[in-house]
């Protein structure tokens, strides 16, 4: 995301963990299981991982292999997550699809957010803008009580000009300022402190850190949202910020893959074009190298055209872009799109239901639109695509396994 107050762009977990392998393999079993309505309601505990609500008093293109392939991430020895297939088997097709949606809500209208979650059972909500009512007085507890499966609650909290809780908890420096005045260890501590503040307010996901590499002036589209122009140095700070959020139990989201820092254009106004893939590998993609070191994170894909990879298609809708992330950069955690409903890079070409469908077909696990609304229309279009085979059931269950596992919603 990237608008300073309202939108997500312009606002690793270990690749090969046994946990993710287990949940993805579980999708195959789900395809053989008949579905019926109903989901499991997972109440949060006192020591919840990121993606789980806080406790309450009650509650086709070119190949993606141009250039050298990075070394695979190290395996992390974790126990497999059990129960995803059982949870999924209790969902109707529409409920499964709804879990793959993250929609914007008006943070100044808590009851509207409760109604949306109760009626649509979406997988996540996004709080943009300056309003803070949903972030006060445990208002998000009621939202969680309306969800049959825990709903992820996301904000943009990068620091600097992209903050959401500064009016409540004080301001945090920009990424560039932190990198120039603090050590990585200090940044990790700062991110952990901010993460604890977010968790206390009910936030479970932060669309940060910005992993873009740039020396743009501060107020440019990325500018001071970046940790710097040196990819190796910036990576250390991206890693530290992400680990700090994880320390606090907030899910970090690295963005904007495959790299916005040297791109030309503004995705709010049209398609953004990056340098060739070989150049991205040397600079912009460095933060995604050895992504297993980050722990359990998500990645946000930007509306970026990579000339020799996506062929004029935004990366959010491009299967080769997702293959680049999955295969070459060995990432098997959840992948979310940048905002599909508020940026002309997408809206000038596709209506929202088409954009969401194309993103899921290409490889996204969750589709985001910050404007909210149109959920019935989108879900109906997706149901039709699922029934016809245009959206394969295996693709839906693969994405759903990742989403549920990230929220610790599998029992």
Tokens of 247: 């320390």
Neighbours of 37 (CB within 10 A): 9
Instruction: Please tell me whether residue 128 adopts helix, strand or coil conformation.
Output: coil
Q: Could you write out the DSSP letters of every residue in 19-61?
A: HHHHHHHHHHHHHTS---S--------SSPPTTSPPP-S----
Cα–Cα dist 48/313, whole Å: 38
268 is catalytic: yes
215 is catalytic: no
**Whether residue 180 has a cis bond before it, omega within 30° of 0:** no
Which of the following is catalytic: 212, 268, 339, 397?
268
Instruction: Please tell me whether residue 273 adopts helix, strand or coil conformation.
Output: strand
List the one residue out of 256, 137, 134 whose CA is nearest residue 207. Answer: 256
Instruction: Please tell me whether residue 315 adopts helix, strand or coil conformation.
Output: helix
Which of the following is catalytic: 338, 339, 365, 397?
338
The answer to whether 245 and 191 have CB atoms below 8 angstroms apart is yes
User: 210 pairs with which residues across the strands?
Assistant: 255
Neighbours of 395 (CB within 10 A): 18
The answer to whether 15 and 326 have CB atoms below 8 angstroms apart is no
Taking the alpha carbons at both ends of the chain, their separation in whole angstroms is 31
**Whether residue 256 has a cis bond before it, omega within 30° of 0:** yes
Cα–Cα dist 128/206, whole Å: 12
Neighbours of 377 (CB within 10 A): 13
Q: Please return the burial class of 39, using the count of CB atoms within 10 Å of its CB with bins 0-12, 13-18 and 19+.
A: buried
Catalytic positions: 268, 338
């Amino acid at each position: 995301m990237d608008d300073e107050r309202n939108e997500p762009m312009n606002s690793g977990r270990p690749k090969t963990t046994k946990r993710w392998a287990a949940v993805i393999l579980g999708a195959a079993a789900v395809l053989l299981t008949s579905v019926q309505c109903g989901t499991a309601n997972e109440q949060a505990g006192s020591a919840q991982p990121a993606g789980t609500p806080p406790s309450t008093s009650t509650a086709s293109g070119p190949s993606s292999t141009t250039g050298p392939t990075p070394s695979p991430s190290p395996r992390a020895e974790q126990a497999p997550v059990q129960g995803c297939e059982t949870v999924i088997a209790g969902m109707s097709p529409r409920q499964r699809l709804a879990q793959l949606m993250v929609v914007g809500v008006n943070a100044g209208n808590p009851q509207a957010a409760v109604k949306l979650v109760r009626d649509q059972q979406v997988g996540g909500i996004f709080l943009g803008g300056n309003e803070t009512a949903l972030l006060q007085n445990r208002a998000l507890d009621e939202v969680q009580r309306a969800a049959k499966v825990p709903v992820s609650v996301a904000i943009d909290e990068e620091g600097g000009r992209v903050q959401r809780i500064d009016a409540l908890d004080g301001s945090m420096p920009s990424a560039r300022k932190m990198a120039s005045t603090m050590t990585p260890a200090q940044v990790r501590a700062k991110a952990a402190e901010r993460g604890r503040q977010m968790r206390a307010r009910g936030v479970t996901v932060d669309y940060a850190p910005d992993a873009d590499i740039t020396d743009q002036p501060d107020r440019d589209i990325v500018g001071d949202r970046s940790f710097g122009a040196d990819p190796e140095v910036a990576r250390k700070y991206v890693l530290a910020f992400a680990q700090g959020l994880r320390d606090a139990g907030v899910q970090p989201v690295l963005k904007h893959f495959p790299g916005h820092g040297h791109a030309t254009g503004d995705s709010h106004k049209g398609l953004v074009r990056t340098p060739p893939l070989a150049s991205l590998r040397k600079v912009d993609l460095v933060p995604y190298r050895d992504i297993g070191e980050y722990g359990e994170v998500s990645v946000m894909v930007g509306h970026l055209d990579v000339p020799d990879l996506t062929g004029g298609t935004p990366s959010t809708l491009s299967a080769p872009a997702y293959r680049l992330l999955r295969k070459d950069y060995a990432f098997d955690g959840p992948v979310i799109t940048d905002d599909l409903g508020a940026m002309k890079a997408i809206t000038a070409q596709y209506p929202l239901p088409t954009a969401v469908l194309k993103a899921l077909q290409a490889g996204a696990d969750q589709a985001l639109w910050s404007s909210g609304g149109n959920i019935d229309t989108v879900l109906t279009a997706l149901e039709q695509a699922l029934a016809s085979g245009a959206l394969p059931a295996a693709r839906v269950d693969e994405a759903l396994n990742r989403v549920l596992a990230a929220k610790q919603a599998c029992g």
